[in-house]
Amino acid sequence: MTQTQNKLDDELEDDDSEHSVSLTTHQNLEEKYNFDKTTIILGIQILPATTESNRQVLITAGIKGELPLTKSTTLNEIEHCTALAEILVQLKAILPQMADKAKQREAQKQKLTANQAGNVRRINPPELPSSTSPQPKPSNQLSLF
C-alpha cells in the first residue's frame, strides 16, 4: 500500500463528516490511475528526415495531468503496425490537397485583409486652438502659484 493510499485511509477514519468527500476523492484517484478505467493519451511525432534514410519517431503515452512516458524509435519500426501504416499512406496521398486548400485559405485571407484596408475611412481630427495663444484667466478664481 502506498503512502498516498495510507494517508487517504487515515483521513477517512478521522472524521465522519468528511467521509463521503474523502471517499469520492479516493475513488477518483483509483480510477484516474487505473489503466482500464482512465483515458490514455498517445502521441506520435514523426520528425523530418535527416541525412540518414530513416526518420526518427517520438512516441508518448500518459494520462491527463501527469508527465507522459516518451520513447524514440524509427519510422520503419512503426510501419509494421497496419493501422499506422494505412493512415500514413492516406496522409501522404492527401497532403497535396491539404496544401492547395491551405494556399486558397491564405490567398482569401490576404484578399480579405486588402479589402478591409481599402475600405477603412480616415477621419481627420478637428482643428484645435493652438496652445500658444494666451487664454484669459477667469477673475473669480484664486491663483495659488
Instruction: Please tell me the predicted confidence (pLDDT) of residue 135.
Output: 59
CA of 97: how far to CAs of 88, 102, 104, 111, 133, in Å? Answer: 15, 9, 11, 21, 68
Instruction: Please tell me the predicted confidence (pLDDT) of residue 16.
Output: 45
**Domain ranges for the chain:** 1-38, 39-78, 81-113
Strand partners, 68: none
Long-range pairs, 11-18, Cβ under 8 A, ≥24: none
| Of the candidates 91, 46, 44, the residue with the CA atom closest to the CA atom of residue 68 | 44
Output the nine-digit C-alpha cell for 7. Answer: 494517508
Contact 35, 42 (CB under 8 A): no
CA of 112: how far to CAs of 4, 108, 118, in Å? Answer: 57, 6, 10
Residues (pLDDT < 50) of the chain are 1, 4-5, 8, 12, 15-22
Output the nine-digit C-alpha cell for 46. Answer: 514523426
Instruction: Please tell me the predicted confidence (pLDDT) of residue 92.
Output: 84
